[in-house]
Amino acid sequence: MMRTISVVGEDLRARRLPVGALLGSMATVELLSGVTQGYLTPLLPSLGDSLQITASGQTRIYLLSQLAFAIWTPLLAKLGDSFGYRRFLRLSIALVAAGSLIMAISPSVLTISVGVVLQGAVVGFMPLLIGILRHQAPASRRTGVGLLVGVLTAAVGIGGVVSGSLSERSATLGLWVAVPVAVLAVIAGFLIPDGAPRSGGRIPILSFALLSLGLAGVVAALSLGADWGWTSGETIGSMSLGVVGLAAWIGVDSVSKCPMVDVRMLVHPPVAVVSGVTFCLAFSTIGFFGANAVFLGSSPDDSGFGLSYGPRSIALVALALNVFALASSLSTATMLRRLGERQTLALSGVLIAASFGSVLLWHSTAPQYLAAIALLGIGFGGYQASTRALCVESVPDRETAMAAGINELALSMGAAIGAATVGAILSATSTSAGVTLQSYVWLWCVCAAVALVGAGLGLCYRKGADLS
């Protein structure tokens, strides 16, 4: 079953903002994205005590957010490509703002659950903004993407620090952190012009349902596998359902005249290589961040490793990493121009691998460990900006948001599988006394190896012919 929507084309380039105003408005929208993704996690433990949310309840809220990310990504990308980037950017901002507001006004298990689902629409910001940027300021696209990624990463750190500090006074006060930023983003959304002329078309309901089912099954298995048990019936059943759903989706879209996703894009070398780099480096970085916080908070006297940092110090380290990522992402356009695409992609992977190699050798003092974290932040910002800039360069304008959305899904899946692998390694190598330094040695080695795979994929990048 499909729903048909026709859209009258128009000359959308007629309304232009100066590039500085355009990028400033877009950066304000991404500021909301970063704050939204960074402010809730530090609040959950204190909210659990205040609102009687059990540990399993907190896990379900986390799962809801991950499922929302997975399902919103292809839907908003498809709608943006077909019916207008600005229209669905504004809708996405409204959904995130509404979710943030209802959680702040009346915090409860129900409103937080609904709120995180609505906030999941932040995943549409980057693909839709790239679609607009590609049309409105093509000469500034790489620079613009670097700016957006820099603001995003910095805002994640700032959101976590601010909400964590407020939660020390009141468990629910930190929920207001995103609200004023959402107001600014709503205003910015009305300043941003539209992207390429809308192609119109049909909404493939069956294809979307199968894709959503597949992604939901895989994400649920990865998110809850540690709690269910990796060999339990729930995990195997959820993963099997996801794989079957994705296989059915590919089968349907392969023969459809109006697919949800042009499946040729999945194997188009430039898109596939960039998505592979994104997956590997998200695995090694975002997948590691949780274990990094545990290391920082562990006591050398009790655990034999760690730096004995408290929650605020851990949040500040995360903020410092994101500041290095900001600096790196802002320089990515220059790196792409001077070094070339392949070398820039590979360099990010090498820097990330080098950071894990450094911490393998030197991790007993704060300066040693934090130097490695700085290196990790530089590689983190570099790949986030370069992959998002390059993922759309060999696809038609009408599929810009979907190409960017595929890259965002690769990021989410890399992070989820990385976190699951990290958890499995820590569990498998722990002793009766808990996690040991040897557990982290294994972890650092695996993350370094996957980062090097990402660097190798980066060297395989070729822009090639446009997908038509």
Question: Residue 133 sits in a domain of what CATH number?
Answer: 1.20.1250.20
Non-local (6+) Cβ contacts of 340 within 8 A are: none
CB 273 within 8 A of CB 461: yes
CB 122 within 8 A of CB 92: yes
* Position 39 in a domain: yes
Which of 216, 236, 259 is the last residue in one of the domains? Answer: 259
| 278 plus 341 within the same structural domain | yes
pLDDT score of 251: 92
Tell me the C-alpha distance between 312 and 264, whole Å: 47
* Position 6 in a domain: no
Written as one string, the DSSP assignment of 437-464 is: HHHHHHHHHHHHHHHHHHHHHHHT----
**DSSP 8-state code for residue 196:** S
In the numeric block, which tokens belong to residue 205? Answer: 């309901």
Q: State the CB neighbour count (10 A cutoff) for residue 145.
A: 29
CB 241 within 8 A of CB 213: yes
* Position 200 in a domain: no
pLDDT score of 66: 85
- Our CA angle for 276, 407, 445, nearest 5°, is 40
pLDDT score of 114: 93
**Number of domains, the chain:** 3
| 311 plus 244 within the same structural domain | no
| 324 plus 217 within the same structural domain | no
Task: Walk along the chain (468 residues) and give the pLDDT tens digit of each residue.
Answer: 444 444 444 444 445 778 899 999 999 999 999 999 988 877 777 777 778 777 667 777 878 888 898 899 999 999 998 888 999 999 999 999 999 999 999 998 899 999 999 999 999 999 999 999 988 988 888 999 999 999 999 998 888 888 878 877 887 888 999 999 999 999 999 999 987 666 666 778 899 999 999 999 998 898 888 788 888 999 999 999 999 999 999 999 888 888 888 888 888 888 999 999 999 999 999 888 878 888 888 888 877 888 888 777 888 888 889 899 999 999 999 999 999 999 999 999 999 999 999 999 998 888 988 899 999 999 999 999 999 999 988 888 888 889 999 999 999 999 888 888 888 888 888 777 778 888 889 999 999 999 999 999 999 998 765 555
pLDDT score of 363: 85
* Position 222 in a domain: yes
| 127 plus 236 within the same structural domain | no
Closest CA to 285 of 380, 171, 173: 380
pLDDT score of 467: 55
Domain with 76 in it? 18-194
| 187 plus 238 within the same structural domain | no
Which of 259, 281, 300 is the last residue in one of the domains? Answer: 259
Beta-bridge mates of residue 201: 5
pLDDT score of 425: 86
pLDDT score of 348: 96
pLDDT score of 260: 86
* Position 1 in a domain: no
Non-local (6+) Cβ contacts of 49 within 8 A are: 171
In the numeric block, which tokens belong to residue 261? Answer: 């996703």
Beta-bridge mates of residue 2: 204
Written as one string, the DSSP assignment of 52-94 is: T--HHHHHHHHHHHHHHHHHHHHHHHHHHHHH-HHHHHHHHHH
| 272 plus 401 within the same structural domain | yes
| 168 plus 215 within the same structural domain | no
198 membership: H or E segment, kind and range = none
Is the Cα torsion angle 31, 35, 37, 38 positive or negative in sign? positive
* Position 10 in a domain: no
pLDDT score of 170: 80
**DSSP 8-state code for residue 5:** E
| 184 plus 291 within the same structural domain | no
| 147 plus 90 within the same structural domain | yes
Q: End-to-end distance of the chain based on CA atoms, in angstroms?
A: 26
| 233 plus 324 within the same structural domain | no
Residue bearing tokens 């562990």: 298
| 236 plus 376 within the same structural domain | no
* Position 199 in a domain: no
| 92 plus 142 within the same structural domain | yes
* Position 464 in a domain: no
